[in-house]
Amino acid sequence: MSDKHFHHKLYVKKNIDVAFSPDTLRKVESILSHYPEDQKKSALIPVLQIAQEEFGGSLNVDIMDYVASLLNITPIEVYEVATFYSQFYLDPVGKYVIEVCQTGPCAICGGEDVLHYLEQKLKIKVGETTEDKLFTLKAVECLGACGSAPVMQVNTEFYEYLNLDKIDDILETLRKESALPKPEKQTWKERLS
C-alpha cells in the first residue's frame, strides 16, 4: 500500500457565520504573528479570551471551530483547552458570572452558606442564569485566594472575607452598575491586563 493511503487531511470547519470584526481580526493576527507557523497553538488561550468577549461572553462549537481554523489546529485541541479552564464558558451566561469557591479554607469558612444565600437572593440554582440575564451562579474550586476565605469572583473582580451583608452590597452595586450607560470601550490589551 502506498503512503497516500495513510495520509488524510485534517478537517477544520470554516464557519462563515462566525467571524471576528476586522479590528479584532487584526489584533488576533498580530498575536499570531509572534509564533512560528507550527506553534500557533501557544496563542490559544488569549485568542479564546478575545473570542469569548467578542461573541457575547461564552463559547460554542462554531466559535471554537472558527478559532481552530485561525490557529490551524484541530477543533478537539480547542475543545480540550476551553473545557479545562474555568475562565471559559460553554453555555450562554449572564452579564455577571459569580463563581463561589467551594473547596479548602472557603469550604470551612462558609463557602457553602455563601452559595446557598446567593441561590436564595437570585432565585436560581448553581449553574443557572437569572431571567434578566444579569447573573450566572457557579460553584468552583480554589480561586487562589484561600487566605481571605470565603471568596467569590465576579467576572474579573475578587470579593474576599464574604459575609451575607457584603453579598447584599455587592449584588446591589452590580445591579446599579448594570443600569449605567456602557463605559468607554477598552482596548483588548487593557481588558486582558
Q: Which residues are annotated as a binding site for [2Fe-2S] cluster?
A: 101, 106, 142, 146
Range in contact with ligand FES (rule: CB under 6 A) among 12-20, 91-99, 143-151, 171-179: 143-151
Cβ-based nearer residue to ligand FES, 18 or 149: 149
CA neighbor of 20 nearest in space, from 44, 45, 51, 49: 51
Write the CA distances from 62 to 1, 14, 137, integer angstroms.
37, 9, 24
- Decide if residue 146 touches ligand FES (CB under 6 A): yes
Cβ-based nearer residue to ligand FES, 78 or 97: 97
Whether the CB-CB separation of 139 and 132 falls below 8 Å is answered with: no
CA neighbor of 54 nearest in space, from 69, 66, 40: 66
Cβ-based nearer residue to ligand FES, 57 or 105: 105
In the chain, the N- to C-terminal Cα span, in Å, equals 54
Q: How far is the CB of 22 from ligand FES (least distance, A)?
A: 40
Range in contact with ligand FES (rule: CB under 6 A) among 61-69, 75-83, 88-96, 100-108: 100-108
Whether the CB-CB separation of 176 and 168 falls below 8 Å is answered with: no
Per CB under 6 A, contacts with ligand FES among 60-89 are none
- Decide if residue 152 touches ligand FES (CB under 6 A): no
- Decide if residue 130 touches ligand FES (CB under 6 A): no
Whether the CB-CB separation of 62 and 17 falls below 8 Å is answered with: yes
